[in-house]
């Protein structure tokens, strides 16, 4: 029986968050739909480099790569931002992490409406897609037409591979482990995320605000923790690293004081195994990121699975899987996106995102540091929830259900077989 032709356009070979999402999605689909002939068109993602598949011996995905389409697929799947969605197959699925603010661009809604089904990573993303509505007006201000979502949207969370994130030997010769072993502090907070555009405290991950609040929480204290900052801005170059060191120094000057806690910059790309070593290192006690908004928050899910405390904002995608009673979710309010953080067709000036409450954030830092045993117990309960409900296997189950509910059955071409011919006994002829 011939398989259903399916093509997925995605940044599967890139070192990016979308690349990780794409690889997980394709692997889950391969397991869920053995009757689909799945091919992959590899796409770029920003300035992130290619080579992930070869570096990690991803043979199953690499062998499915094709340079271009030779015929129309029955099912076309595109993993990217919605304004890039295109109608290519008989049935078209758009997969996106969603949006980090309260409003998505009209081009995103139009992109979603080109598809037959849209999958997003969180309830937050689904809500924003469904609530974003726009009026088209003429020069006199008269409404000509309205644009709103007409395509069904389902939530497909990004499951964590619990076989990948687990305890490891910290006496390893791997460079990242050596670097962590050399840190003099035994208690370190970890922040993971790109330092994106925006004035101080206005970047989406709020790296600047997270650093400043950490410094304020522990300055002039005799016993101080450290902050490990796993970040980069544009790339993994020495120039990028030097620029970030300068930005950190500027924040130190803003906070002031001669006795500030130490910050260690972990710059450049890490393999998945190295990320796991960072998460599980005994000096890494908790994760912190006072983010302004997440479509999902993949590093939170990975770190939560190892059973250590997390401090983060009480809003957007990651609240799907971080339990409010087991995580230090910092309160705050929604405010307009700052002009310095606006990104055309993506982060809109008329949208809002989260601003954390400063005193609550300071309190959260101190709770984790002073009452670590209790916060660790809660974190381990949180890890149990993750391992039961938000794994890559569970994500595969959800995906299989979504496909079954939404994607139509397509006719299959089969080889034509001649019907069997039975031997026929003719009656004997009589002589006339």
258 CB-near residues (< 8 Å, 6+ apart) = none
Q: Alpha carbon of 218 to those of 134, 257, 263, 312: distances in Å?
A: 46, 11, 12, 18
Encode the chain (432 residues) as per-residue pLDDT tens digits.
689 999 999 999 998 889 999 999 999 999 999 999 999 999 999 888 899 999 889 999 999 999 999 899 999 999 999 999 999 999 999 999 999 999 999 999 999 999 999 999 999 999 999 999 998 877 877 887 899 999 999 999 999 999 988 887 777 778 889 899 999 999 999 999 999 999 999 999 999 999 999 999 999 888 999 999 999 988 888 998 999 999 999 999 999 988 999 999 999 888 888 999 999 999 999 999 999 999 999 999 999 999 999 999 999 999 999 999 999 999 999 999 999 999 999 999 999 999 999 999 999 999 999 999 999 999 999 999 999 999 999 999 999 999 999 999 887 654 434 444 444 444 444 443
On whether the CB atoms of residues 189 and 285 are closer than 8 A, the answer is: yes
Which pTM does this prediction carry?
Answer: 0.91
Q: Which residues pair with 266 in a beta bridge?
A: 230
> What domains appear along the chain, each with residue ranges and CATH number?
4-158+391-406 (3.40.50), 175-389 (3.40.50.2000)
Q: Give start and end residues of each alpha helix (H) in 350-427.
A: 358-370, 372-389, 392-406
Short-list 129, 91, 95, CA closest to 110: 129
Which pair of structure tokens corresponds to residue 306? Answer: 């190892």
- Strand, coil or helix: what is 21? helix
């Amino acid at each position: 029986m011939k398989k259903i032709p399916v093509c997925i356009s995605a940044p599967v070979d890139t070192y990016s968050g979308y690349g990780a999402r794409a690889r997980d999605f394709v692997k889950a689909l391969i397991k869920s739909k053995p009757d689909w002939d799945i091919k992959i068109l590899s796409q770029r993602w920003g300035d992130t480099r290619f080579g992930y598949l070869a570096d990690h011996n991803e043979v199953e995905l690499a062998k499915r790569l094709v340079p271009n389409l030779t015929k129309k697929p029955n099912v076309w799947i595109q993993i990217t931002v919605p304004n890039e969605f295109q109608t290519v197959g008989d049935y078209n699925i758009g997969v996106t992490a969603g949006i980090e603010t309260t409003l998505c661009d009209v081009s995103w809604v139009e992109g979603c409406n080109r598809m037959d089904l849209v999958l997003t990573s969180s309830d937050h993303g689904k809500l924003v897609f469904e609530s974003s509505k726009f009026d088209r007006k003429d020069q006199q201000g008269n409404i000509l037409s309205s644009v709103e979502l007409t395509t069904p949207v389902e939530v497909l969370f990004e499951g964590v591979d619990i076989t990948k994130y687990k305890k490891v030997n910290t006496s390893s010769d791997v460079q990242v482990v050596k670097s962590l072993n050399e840190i003099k502090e035994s208690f370190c907070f970890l922040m993971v995320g790109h330092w994106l555009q925006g004035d101080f405290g206005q970047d989406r991950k709020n790296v600047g605000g997270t650093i400043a609040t950490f410094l304020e929480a522990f300055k002039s204290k005799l016993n101080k923790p450290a902050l490990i900052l796993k970040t980069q801005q544009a790339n993994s170059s020495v120039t990028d690293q030097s620029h970030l060191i300068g930005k950190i120094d500027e924040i130190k000057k803003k906070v002031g004081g001669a006795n500030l806690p130490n910050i260690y910059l972990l710059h450049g790309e890490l393999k998945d195994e190295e990320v796991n070593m960072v998460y599980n290192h005994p000096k890494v006690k908790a994760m912190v990121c006072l983010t302004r908004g997440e479509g999902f928050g993949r590093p939170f899910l990975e770190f939560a699975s190892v059973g250590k405390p997390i401090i983060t904002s009480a809003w957007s995608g990651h609240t799907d899987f971080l339990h409010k009673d087991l995580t230090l979710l910092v309160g705050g309010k929604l405010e307009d996106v700052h002009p310095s953080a606006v990104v055309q067709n993506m982060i809109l000036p008329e949208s809002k995102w989260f601003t954390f409450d400063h005193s609550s954030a300071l309190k959260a830092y101190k709770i984790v540091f002073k009452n670590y045993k209790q916060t660790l117990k809660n974190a381990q309960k949180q890890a149990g929830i993750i391992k039961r409900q938000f794994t890559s296997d569970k994500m595969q189950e959800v995906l299989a259900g979504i496909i079954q509910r939404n994607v139509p059955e397509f006719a299959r071409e089969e080889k034509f077989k001649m019907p069997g011919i039975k031997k026929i006994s003719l009656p004997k002829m009589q002589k006339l």
